[in-house]
Amino acid sequence: MKSIVATLAASVTALSIATTAVAEDMVSYTTTLSFDDVTFGLENAITDRGLLVDHISHVGDMLERTRADVGSDIVLFEKADVYSFCSAQLSRQVMEADPMNIMFCPYDIFVAQFPGKEEITIGYRAFPAGDMQVIQELLDGIVREAIEE
């Protein structure tokens, strides 16, 4: 029995550490702009750089639509979308440095509004030091422009 409790305690500790690490690997900003204003600004900030939005994942809609189907009563988002896009020039640059940087492509920026909150959160996953910092700088510039910072 002690072995099961010790294993469970170790698993819970490992899960807590993993959750913290994931949170530390994200860059996000909040704004009082409306969700629609933020997504409009995001689309413009992406296309103003000559980039094309490949896909918009309506994550919030999907989670709400399937909430009852999976037996949940928790509303996670008022609205939440993920914008995916790529830069041929920068992607080539980082993949010539290391072809395994393909794992980071396409690049994603999320926009979310949490239930009962007025503010909007916008962000992206942080990239490792080195060659991928050029992508992080790109995403940070896009996000800041989207929320007029």
pLDDT in tens, 61-76: 999 999 999 999 999 9
Q: Tell me how crowded residue 142 is: count the other CB atoms within 10 A of its CB.
A: 23
CA-based max dimension of the chain: 61
What does DSSP assign to residue 105? P
Q: What average pLDDT does the structure give for the chain?
A: 88
The span from the CA of 117 to the CA of 97, in Å, is 42
**Average pLDDT, stretch 69-90?**
97
Answer with the residue of higher pLDDT: 90 or 21: 90
Answer with the residue of higher pLDDT: 23 or 134: 134
pLDDT band at 149 (very low <50, low <70, confident <90, very high): confident
pLDDT recorded at residue 11: 40
Which residue stretches of the chain are H helix?
A: 2-24, 35-47, 59-65, 88-97, 133-146
Secondary element (H or E) of residue 27: strand 26-31
2-13 burial code (b ≥16 CB/10 A, e <16): eeeeeeeeeeee
pLDDT band at 10 (very low <50, low <70, confident <90, very high): very low
What domains can be seen in the chain, in order of their start residue? 26-146 (3.30.310.70)
Instruction: Answer yes or no: are the C-beta atoms of 97 and 21 closer than 8 Å.
Output: no
Range of lowest pLDDT (18-32, 66-80, 81-95, 96-110):
18-32
pLDDT band at 24 (very low <50, low <70, confident <90, very high): low
Residue 75: CA atoms inside 13 Å, Cβ hemisphere, count? 9
Residue 42 pLDDT greater than 50, yes or no:
yes
Answer with the residue of higher pLDDT: 124 or 15: 124
The span from the CA of 26 to the CA of 111, in Å, is 13
User: pLDDT > 70: what percent of the chain?
Assistant: 84
